[in-house]
Structure 1
Amino acid sequence: MPTVILVRHGRSTANADGVLAGWSPGVALDDTGRAQATALAARLAVLPIAAVVSSPLQRCEETVRPLLDTRPEIPRHTDERVGECHYGDWTGRKLSELADEPLWATVQRHPSAAVFPGEKGESLRAMQARAVDAIRDWNDRIEAAHGADAMYLVCSHGDIIKSLAADALGMHLDLFQRIGTDPCSVTVIRYTAHRPYLLRLGDTGDLTGLVPPPRPKEEAHRPDDAVVGGSTGVS
């Protein structure tokens, strides 16, 4: 099954202002975020990316633009299922104010019980479920189109990526706040028939080590087995 490169969008104007953007329209990358997106395209240049899937929100579209400008052959898709959590009435409010809300403690300590207020508020459980369903769906699509060893990129949001990493690690959602993903960081999950492998988490450095090595004619273990004793890395 394919390997998915999960990219959190670059720093946005809302990030810089300490605002919970959610699905607010018109939230763009700031100057730092645009520089991060440009650097990301260079970091990803070595990787054979078969497709790009993006949240429909502006900050994600702007994050993948430098990559697609330099590699126009890569097909781009949009999927609302990897869009930001629907924070309901919390949307657009200052994080410093939200920290005083009773729900804040639930979000921090028992997120599986957290449901954001208002008609459009979503639970964190529902957010994780739709994101996991989206990735599993795209794994099947990418494998059918490009083969089992294909690699593709999904540009999404912090809580989405943290919840996907928790799922890959077999962690309960109540532990996902222990995971960190900085703007324009890369989290990489290789899926197999029996389990996923977390290859990178919140990586902001060199990605050369993710280049798929040539597959030997005879492998000492099945493709979805872990290497006993640890991987040999890349030479």
Structure 2
Amino acid sequence: MFLVRHGATDFNLKKPTVLQGNGINGPLAEIGRRQATLTGEFLGDYALDTVYASPMVRAMETAQRIVPGRDIVPVPEIVEADVGRWLGRDWADIQSTDPEAYRLHQEDPSIHPYPEGESATDVARRTVPALTKILKENLGKRVLVVAHNIVIRVMVAHLYQIPLKQFRTIRQDNCCVNVIRYQAEKAELVTCNSTFHLRSLDQ
């Protein structure tokens, strides 16, 4: 499985970053489209049997640019986290206006959800089984899955057996590639947050 985070959106590029969650469903920014194209060039050496993606616009657009013309299977279970009442806000604003909820969430996002939204545990409960099912159903095949920051972080935490309390220590850049191998009924993370294919964008 090539598990890829979607390309950058305008909200990803804001300074400071604004929380999109599953409530803001916009397209890729220009640089996000370029990231997706470069990811497609990088993965072009691999014959992909099936392509899956979160049904959110930014994930579907990324998948379409990675493998133009291919059918994409939407997977509703891997949409981004519900960030509740913090939707469309940045962390500095949240910390200043909602300090206690912010403190609790930063302390342990696995048990303290985004207010009126999901916790990391909630996200893991729906996404880890969905991604594991894709692995099991595609034995001997190569698949592409395009998903989101928190979704991929909780999957990586699951594979590395990192407590969900610490899932934010796992970095996932826009259009990074993670490689998961499934064999002998065990999933193994082979590559995490690879962005070598995007180096030309830093120049």
What TM-score results when the alignment is normalised by the length of structure 1? 0.77
For 1:93-172, what aligned pairs fall within 5 Å after superposition? 93-100=89-96, 101-118=99-116, 121-142=117-138, 148-172=139-163
TM-superposed CA distance for 1:83, in Å, is 0.5
Measure the CA separation in 2 of the matches of 1:28 and 1:95. 22
Tell me, which stretches of 5 or more residues in structure 2 are unaligned? Answer: 198-203
TM-superposed CA distance for 1:104, in Å, is 2.7
For 1:170-189, what aligned pairs fall within 5 Å after superposition? 170-189=161-180
Q: Which position in structure 2 is the counterpart of 1:33?
A: 32
**Residue in structure 1 matching 2:2, options 5, 21, 28:** 5
Please tell me whether residue 199 in structure 1 is matched to residue 190 in structure 2: yes
Letter of the 2:128 partner, please give it: V
Q: Which position in structure 1 is the counterpart of 2:200?
A: none
- Conserved? CA contact 1:125–1:173, under 8 Å: yes
Letter of the 1:78 partner, please give it: P
- Conserved? CA contact 1:88–1:116, under 8 Å: yes
Letter of the 2:165 partner, please give it: D
Question: What do the CA deviations read for 1:81-125 (whole angstroms, capped 9, x no partner)?
Answer: 11100111111112321233323333333121122222xx12210
Q: Which position in structure 2 is the counterpart of 1:223?
A: none
Q: Which position in structure 1 is the counterpart of 2:73?
A: 77
Measure the CA separation in 2 of the matches of 1:167 and 1:82. 15
- Name the CA shift for 1:106/1:200 in 2 (closer, same or farther; >3 Å): farther
Measure the CA separation in 2 of the matches of 1:113 and 1:62. 32
Measure the CA separation in 1 of the matches of 2:103 and 2:186. 32
- Conserved? CA contact 1:25–1:57, under 8 Å: no
Question: SS at the partner of 2:7?
Answer: coil
| Bigger radius of gyration among the two | 1
- Conserved? CA contact 1:10–1:37, under 8 Å: yes
Letter of the 2:146 partner, please give it: C
- Conserved? CA contact 1:49–1:151, under 8 Å: yes
TM-superposed CA distance for 1:26, in Å, is 4.1
Q: CA RMSD in A?
A: 1.6
- Conserved? CA contact 2:80–2:148, under 8 Å: yes
Measure the CA separation in 2 of the matches of 1:169 and 1:31. 33
Question: SS at the partner of 1:49?
Answer: coil
Identity across aligned pairs (percent)?
Answer: 28
Question: SS at the partner of 2:140?
Answer: coil
Q: Which position in structure 1 is the counterpart of 2:48?
A: 49
Measure the CA separation in 1 of the matches of 2:51 and 2:181. 16
Q: Which position in structure 2 is the counterpart of 1:58?
A: 57
- Conserved? CA contact 2:136–2:182, under 8 Å: no
Tell me, which stretches of 5 or more residues in structure 1 are unaligned? Answer: 143-147, 207-235
